[in-house]
Amino acid sequence: MGATEGSRDTDRRIGRRALLLGGTAAAVGSAVLARDELARLWWRTPGVEKPRVEGAVDFRGARWVAASDANWRRADRPDDYGIDLVVVHVTQGSFASAVKAFQDPGHRAAAHYIVGKDGRITQMIRELDVAYHAGNRSYNERSVGIEHEGFVDRPEDFTDAMYAASARLTAGICARYGIPVDREHIIGHVEVPGTDHTDPGRHWDWDRYMKLVRQAGRPLTRA
């Protein structure tokens, strides 16, 4: 599952480039804060939020259930942080327990998506925002996290329906952000630097999964 209390992304609100306000901004002038930068970051000022559509999802067919806002932070990806990774997780529990954990502000971690054994997909954090799922701030900022229902030591939890649904989801993410469909850009939680997690574990069939992702990403051709 996502990063724990001790390893989560510790920056609660501020992105890589802090917005300078008041007299400081006036003194620095446009030579430092270019117009396009201000246009992108205006909503970071106190009391201003980038507009969101209530209940909107990034993947068609996903169900929206909001994670606690303690488990992610607002961003404007890919404008402020480029997205070039998908991180595969396993929940180490049921679908319902993962949803409950990500809604708990005390959990301090959550992924963007959860995929169930039956193939259902729930989105809990928008892709434009930074989810605390990888246990590494840089990787959080540049990735989309996908949890999969089950346990790493139970290969039977990784069903055909789960593989197929997750592959379609990952293919869509890769197409959206121009992410190469390879093992350098689609990784397991265990491959994140500094993590103490082992998921998705040795029973996750990477060869099968990558083949499905490539197939799902191919444009349909007419006979």
CA 27, chain centre distance (Å) = 37
Check 147, 149, 156, 191 and give the catalytic one.
147
Q: Establish whether 147 is a catalytic residue.
A: yes
Which residue blocks in the chain are alpha helix, DSSP H?
22-28, 35-41, 95-103, 137-142, 160-177, 206-217
CB 18 within 8 A of CB 109: no
Cα(103)–Cα(66) distance, rounded to whole angstroms?
7
Say whether 197 sits in a helix, a strand or coil: coil
Catalytic residue numbers?
A: 147
